[in-house]
Structure 1
């Protein structure tokens, strides 16, 4: 199947998933039902190819969005046609550390990038089968890479694989939205958020619930309340 056909197939599948998710959340959670009315349809554009998406998550750690974009552009310039599709584990491993440092990657992020490439090459992280693996197995594999923790793995599940039932309970923005929208006096900790999500009945569409709560942070207070 061509890349274009794959994208079209994904879009059709995601559209059906999004419709089911919105219907489910409208039925089980009046707050999110209101957000759906204000924000509109649930939508995610998948980040591919997967190897570059994971590298990007490493590059972007603990720096501004603007700085990350600049470094990614310099990093891509090291590969043919500056194309994400040309960023492969084998090509990355042939690049001298000095080239990556010149592109703007820190010493630590260079090590993380090499470690990711090595683990993909060795099959420790199996990107060829990752679409067929359950969420927790993907998280287990990815967190074997230095520099990739559970939060980064969950972002990959959401934004690259569009998995429907991901609840990033450690995410600060998500927990802030829960506090703001549901009247918690303090920002709830991850354990409380997980229990709250169960009570609200978001599963099997926790990703869509998360997406709407993230988007709510951009709404004016008077609109949300």
Structure 2
């Protein structure tokens, strides 16, 4: 996902827990230092961002998102009504693939017809949020987990299918190959109920060349 503007600090309680729960992760936390969580408070736009960002570099996704964002006002991104009414060719001209045009329009349609019940989503448990969001074409578990982390601010999300997280775990724990999702899930049991913070620190560790 492209990085939103607002940022929230990692709670001190999460850091204290993780420092005591896992010596490897504790070393990463000490090396990385304090970090903040980028946050997109608008769930609709967070999901558009997540769809656009799939399989793209951060820079490429940011360019396309800026073009899409310009369809709204300076203060508010374009609402579902605007994107669903936009001609497909116009959205393609902004850089969206044909598939992503269909994904964004399906999201807009399901947002407007209450299939997603967006007003309820912030009140639902994590797995129920995921079950709601994967009803949209082009949104899988990973995309829903990104919304849980970077929009809804859920503290205990572990996106085991994320390639960057897999590589970070491999480097941190000296594994001979990239770990499978069940290996990461098992390791993550030590990080509950703060697996989001653990994931963020592991992601950030890659910027430093590993632990």
State the TM-score, normalizing by the size of structure 2: 0.90
Match of 1:93 in 2: 84
Match of 1:117 in 2: 108
Match of 2:3 in 1: none
Note if 1:144 corresponds to 2:162: no
Any conservation in 2 of the 1:22–1:42 contact (CA below 8 Å)?
no
Any conservation in 1 of the 2:72–2:79 contact (CA below 8 Å)?
no
Any conservation in 1 of the 2:51–2:103 contact (CA below 8 Å)?
yes
Note if 1:38 corresponds to 2:31: yes
Which structure has greater helix proportion?
1
Cα separation, partners in 2 of 1:220 and 1:91, compared to 1, 3 Å: closer
2:197 pairs, out of 200, 208, 215, with 208
Q: Deviations over 1:154-212 (max 9, x none)?
A: 111111112100011111111111111112222110012111222xx100000011111
Where structure 1 has 5 or more consecutive residues not aligned to the other structure, the ranges are: 1-6
Any conservation in 2 of the 1:18–1:43 contact (CA below 8 Å)?
no
Equivalent positions of 1:70-219 (< 5 A) are: 70-81=63-74, 83=75, 85-198=76-189, 201-219=190-208
Q: Matched residue pairs, number?
A: 206
Match of 1:4 in 2: none
Match of 2:55 in 1: 62
Any conservation in 1 of the 2:157–2:196 contact (CA below 8 Å)?
yes
Secondary structure of the residue aligned to 1:148 is coil
State which structure, 1 or 2, has the greater radius of gyration over its C-alpha atoms.
1
State the TM-score, normalizing by the size of structure 1: 0.85
Any conservation in 1 of the 2:68–2:78 contact (CA below 8 Å)?
no
Q: Deviations over 1:100-126 (max 9, x none)?
A: 122121211111111001111122222
Secondary structure of the residue aligned to 1:217 is helix
Secondary structure of the residue aligned to 2:131 is helix
Displacement after TM superposition at 1:219 (Å)? 1.3
Any conservation in 2 of the 1:42–1:208 contact (CA below 8 Å)?
no
Displacement after TM superposition at 1:78 (Å)? 2.1
Cα separation, partners in 2 of 1:65 and 1:45, compared to 1, 3 Å: closer
Secondary structure of the residue aligned to 2:39 is coil
CA–CA distance in 1 between the matches of 2:177 and 2:77?
A: 46
CA–CA distance in 2 between the matches of 1:174 and 1:92?
A: 32
Where structure 2 has 5 or more consecutive residues not aligned to the other structure, the ranges are: 1-5
Secondary structure of the residue aligned to 1:48 is coil
Cα separation, partners in 2 of 1:86 and 1:72, compared to 1, 3 Å: closer
Any conservation in 1 of the 2:39–2:153 contact (CA below 8 Å)?
yes
